[in-house]
Structure 1
Amino acid sequence: MSAKANDMARIQEIFVLITETQRQIESLGITEQRFKSPASDADQLFSEAIMNRVLRITEEAGALSDEALALYDFDRRAIKGVRNRLAHAYGNVDADIVWDVVQQDFPKLLEGCHAYCDELGLELELPEE
């Protein structure tokens, strides 16, 4: 499989994971407070699920080709840093950092996904519900 095909598969996965996470956060009413200081088992489960999604997204983004990372403004160092922190210090992850990733970096990653596909004339797709 070519680097472009691998990149497109990763871009598609990043797009789906971010879009679904954003939709679920909104539909479940997950607030910053509920994420950072879970008051119930459900909130704790939501927080852990969001952290898992961030880990999955950083795994995919970190595996993009150097060309895709450079052309579409993906910051490999930042992506790898978040990924390593989540993968190796899960119990001690700073919830402030993860929430900032979700709120500030997810939109930037989506912009990069769209720019990648726009340049290649491809469409991003969400799975059917």
Structure 2
Amino acid sequence: MLDHGTEAMQMARSRVRRDLDKDRQLNLALVRLLEIVGEASARVTEDTKRNHPQVAWVEIAGLRNRLVHGYDDVDFDILWDIIQLDLPPLVSTLTTILNR
């Protein structure tokens, strides 16, 4: 989760929202990275999830399902907001958890 979330943030760092519409490789890469973050969240133990309720485990897995099964209807405004607004605190929290 941490590695792929970090990679998505780095990939989007010097970009703007409209780049998702113009750059197919960027678009596909970011979607795939978020899919992997979601897939990895489903593999986290129930103990870890219980001990870290500050992480939106269910929503993260739900995003993965939406991206995988609704691939032809992704709202890229929402995707961009997730990368810009939700991913940085998630990466920070995961870093803290893993450094304990």
TM-score range, shorter chain: 0.7 to 0.9
Runs of 4 or more consecutive aligned structure 1 residues displaced over 6 Å after TM superposition: none
Indicate how the Cα distance of structure 1 residues 71 and 57 shifts in structure 2: closer, same or farther if over 3 A, else same: same
Count of aligned residue pairs for this structure pair: 99
* Alpha-carbon shift at residue 34 of structure 1 (Å): 1.4
* TM-score, structure 1 as length reference: 0.68
Structure 2 unpaired stretches of 5+: none
If you compute each CA radius of gyration, which structure gives the higher value, 1 or 2? 1
CA contact (8 A) 2:9 2:88 kept: no
Structure 1 residue 71, shift from structure 2 partner: 2.5
Equivalent runs, 1:38-77 vs 2, <5 Å: 38-39=21-22, 43-72=23-52, 73-77=54-58
Change (3 A) 1:76 1:15: closer
5+ residue gaps, structure 1: 1-13, 120-129
Counterpart residue number, 2:66: 85
Q: Secondary structure at 2:8's aligned position in 1?
A: helix
Q: Secondary structure at the match of 1:32?
A: coil
**TM-score normalised to structure 2 length:** 0.84
Identity of aligned residues (%): 23
Which of 5, 22, 25 is matched with 2:12 structurally? Answer: 25
